[in-house]
Structure 1
Amino acid sequence: MQITFRCDPALIDRLERPVPARTKLPDWLRAMPATAFSQVHAADVRTVKHCPPFVDAMSHGFIIPLPCDVTVAEGRLSWDWDLPPLSVEAHPRSPLSFHVPAQVTGTPFHREDRAVVKFNSFWTIELEAGYSLFATHPVNRDDLPFRLLTGMVDADRFTDVGILFPAVWTNPDFEGTLPRGTPVAQCFPVARAPLDLVCEPFDAARQRSYENTAQALLGQPGVYRKSYRVKRPRSAGEVTPETFEVEP
């Protein structure tokens, strides 16, 4: 799957570039313990650090990074980003803009005293024909003080301008700096193909397979990782000093 990112020529050497999501896994995932004591079990249990679906979801697709430091203080967002003249007059120069609260009236995100933050994109995105871009909050990243609103764009056709990523601010007490490179959105291509949903009962072979697999999962750790999980290929030219691998 080739994904092509383009930007104003004046910015090509200045912008943070989109990167595979696995290279932007958070420090807390690496630092968290592999086991923790459970009062319910009165013993140590394996944490989600051992869970391939948890980690693979966080590693899937690519990350749109924040293009510059953004400081948050006393409810204000500010930045100091010196950009050169750009070749396109209509191109944004600010890393952030806003939607007024009225635009999310009737949704769970609406608050009359809170605008919707909009992360501007300085990259256009082009997918292969037949694919749309699914953009969502960086997976399992509740440590970020905002929550991206999920959207899907037909980015095999909508390729001339950057995609904007709206978000609500979820931590009103946050003060500090979101550093350049902070994950803003996690994106991945999805095929625009109709779904054929089939529901049917287990036959005898499926009953046996269910029982055998369930017993194996209960009897030993790592069954899914060892027998079912597909190892994810690296992206072309990917250098991943920060890559996190699921514990054995």
Structure 2
Amino acid sequence: MKIIARCHPALEPILPTPVPAARALPHWLRTMPAEVAAPTLSGMTVRTLKHCLPFIDALSLGLMIPLATDLTVEGGEIAWDWDPPVIADAPLTRAPVGLHVPEQATGAPLPVDGQLMVKFINFWALEAPEGWDLLFTHPLNRADLPFRTLSGLVSADRFRLGYVHFPALWTDPGFEGVLPAGTPVAQVIALPCSQPGLEIATMSEAVIAESRHIQETLQAEPGHYRKSYRA
């Protein structure tokens, strides 16, 4: 299964390209310790999230859409120094970011009072194979970013030449500085159009025993999940 990302040829020389999320892992993941002492546990050494493969797999899932250019944030204003070509044959804005007024979120449980609502402009049209949708969401487990991208699901096999832009709440009003080009603004995860059903059941004795064995082994053998369940 392959996702095709297309941009206008006039923009190709200046745009950062979408990348597999596994190639856009945050710097803090690489530098965080694998084990630390926990004062709340009398100084006992504990493993950090760096050992949590499901956490890392979420960071690595799908594609990342990058910010098109540097954004300078200062005094509550966003500015940029970017001069893309004028494109006469496509309805594309030349601005890398737009705005949403807070009233557009009226009735939604979102913290919009006094918060800036931005829209990251996406210059890439994504095509998924027939039978697949694309979930666009905030980069998973990335609370370090000063914004929170809202999630949306798009039928990319039918909307394959459309541009999907990303509304986001600016969640860090104290942030000032440069948000660099290439910063991931949305994570793209392919999902089958036909979602699975749900069956509710109680565990049999055999299933209880198997589940207990799995949990005990995970506790006793660091790395067991990676070695056995990802084989």
**TM-score interval w.r.t. the shorter chain?**
over 0.9
Structure 1 vs Structure 2 CA RMSD:
1.4
Q: Normalization by structure 1: what TM-score?
A: 0.89
1:155-234 paired onto structure 2 within 5 Å? 155-230=156-231
Q: Report the residue type matching 1:208 in the other structure.
A: A
Would the aligned equivalents of 1:9 and 1:87 in 2 still touch at CA under 8 Å? Answer: no
Tell me, yes or no, if the aligned pair for 2:112 and 2:169 is still in contact at 8 Å. no
1:6-155 matched pairs, under 5 angstroms: 6-42=6-42, 43-155=44-156
Q: Give, as a single letter, the amino acid of the residue that structure 1 aligns with 2:101.
A: V
Distance in 1 separating the partners of 2:223 and 2:133: 34
What fraction of aligned residue pairs are identical, expressed as a percent?
46
SS in 1 for 2:222: coil
Q: Deviations over 1:57-106 (max 9, x none)?
A: 00000000001000000000000101122142521111001111111011
5+ long unaligned stretches in structure 1: 231-248
1:166 CA displacement: 0.5
**Per-residue displacement from partner, 1:134-166 (whole Å, max 9, x unpaired)?**
011111111110000011111111122210100
SS at match of 1:9: coil
Deviations 1:27-53 (A, max 9, x none): 100000000111233311000001100
**Given residue 40 of structure 2, which amino acid in structure 1 is its aligned partner?**
V
Equivalent residue pairs, number: 230
TM-score, normalisation: structure 2: 0.95
SS in 1 for 2:225: helix
In structure 2, give the amino acid aligned to 1:124.
A
Which is further off, 219-228 or 160-169?
219-228
| Runs of 4+ residues deviating >6 angstroms | none
- For structure 2, the 5+ residue unaligned runs are none
Alpha-carbon separation, structure 2, partners of 1:89 and 1:127:
21
Mapped partners of 2:90, 2:55: distance in 1:
43
Does structure 2 conserve the Cα–Cα contact (< 8 Å) formed by 1:35 and 1:46? yes
